[in-house]
Amino acid sequence: MKYFSLSNNEIVFPFKEAVIKGLAPDRGLFFPESITPLPKAFIENIEAYSNVDIAFEIIKQFVGEEIPEKVLKQIIEETIPFDFPVIPITENVSTLELFHGPTMAFKDVGAKFMAKCLEYFNEESNEEVTVLVATSGDTGGAVANGFLGTKGVNVVILYPSGKVSDIQERQLTTLGQNITALEVDGVFDDCQEMVKTAFLDEEIKPNLTSANSINIARWLPQMFYFFFAYKQLKSQHKEIVFSVPSGNFGNICAGFMAQKLGLPVRHLVAATNVNDTVPNFLKSGQYDAKPSIATISNAMDVGNPSNFVRIQQIFDNHFDKLKEHLFSYSFSDEDTRMAMKEIHSDSNYVADPHGAVGYLGLKTYGLKENQIGVFLETAHPVKFLDVVKNTLNVDVEIPSQIQKVMDREKERIPIKSYEDLKGFLNS
């Protein structure tokens, strides 16, 4: 499989090089040259397949022959050894829990898949790669855990000071080994801009790649979730509407890729917090990126979502076609807290702030009688303990995955500018 730059379709790389580079030399995001729908018989009989078999069928065309099938299956087995349950909330609304991995966030899947791919590519090489990644919350912990101890890979994580939860910060600052955390005096968009600038800086000495969802090996495995949910819901014979809490728009973009592969999805809803760049774009037709605003759903605090250009590419950059398929709504912190209370009152289910925004997306969309709505619960509520306790007045049991980092000392390096980052990388 070849990948072209969305800034210049004449810039083309195979899967391996696209993964290692992260971004194209012109700063464009990579996109697959072709998307071949899966056989209808496979989707019709999806209940007969294991999650590993489903994931393998989904991803193999995007990897091509660059990883042998036997190795690719082993990578998938190590990537998804946990469950992805669909939990009923009300009669026609369910949630897809994506937090049963090692850092209790949906990004565990993409981070581990990418780490194992890089490990395979580095098996016969003595060259080191530096994974440079910006996080608004959960990406940092997932990447740190996924790449911990990976041969030939150093990880540098940029995160905005004071704008991630305490547990999120602990997950990316307490592991040591090949993981370094840089605490940026700014917002997520500043972190993301520094990462993109570093990729184009010819004076940077290390070989850089990114583990944000801009990297194809982080982004594409997110298609798995939507097929796993369909497998569990298929027997209900209802149209499915997914509502995806959206920050950098990688997850919902993967949902549209799943739809392109033939997954029967009625609609996808991008539910955002007050960082409403995309909802406003769908109303006005004008894309107006702006500085991100801090909210209680901090992993979605993105003012200029990188992956939105991929969604536009899926719909041939045709605005009217995009509006037919993508619904997007924004919600305030007050809305979010009310939704958390409503979900808990109706079903005794404790949703995190991001899942609550996804739930609101379904309510605003307006489900019909023959439809079932699924909102993605992207992180365990314990990762936002203060918000959950203050909103619902409930105690949340701290799982073992979280307990093991609670007593460790945070280690991070404060930086204020791109020059600080450059100096660190070149030291």
CA–CA dist 231, 250 (Å, integer): 22
DSSP readout, 79-148? H--S---EEEEETTEEEEE---STTSBTHHHHHHHHHHHHHHHTTT----EEEEEE-SSHHHHHHHHHHT
Judge contact between 79 and 109, C-beta under 8 A.
yes
- As a whole number of Å, the CA-based R_g of the chain is 20
Judge contact between 86 and 232, C-beta under 8 A.
yes
- Residue 122 CB coordination number (10 Å): 17
- Residue 275: strand, helix, or coil: coil
State the angle between helix axes of 223-233 and 51-63 in degrees (0 to 180), rounded to the nearest 10. Answer: 140
Q: How many CA atoms lie within 13 A of 271 on its CB side?
A: 31
Report the largest interatomic distance among the alpha carbons of the chain, rounded to a whole angstrom: 61
Give the active site residue among 21, 107, 116, 231.
107
Q: How many CA atoms lie within 13 A of 351 on its CB side?
A: 33
Residues 6 or more apart in contact with residue 160 via CB below 8 angstroms: 136, 184, 186, 187, 188, 190, 191
CA–CA dist 256, 10 (Å, integer): 24
In the annotation, is 107 catalytic?
yes
CA–CA dist 5, 105 (Å, integer): 29
Could you give the residue numbers annotated as active site? 107
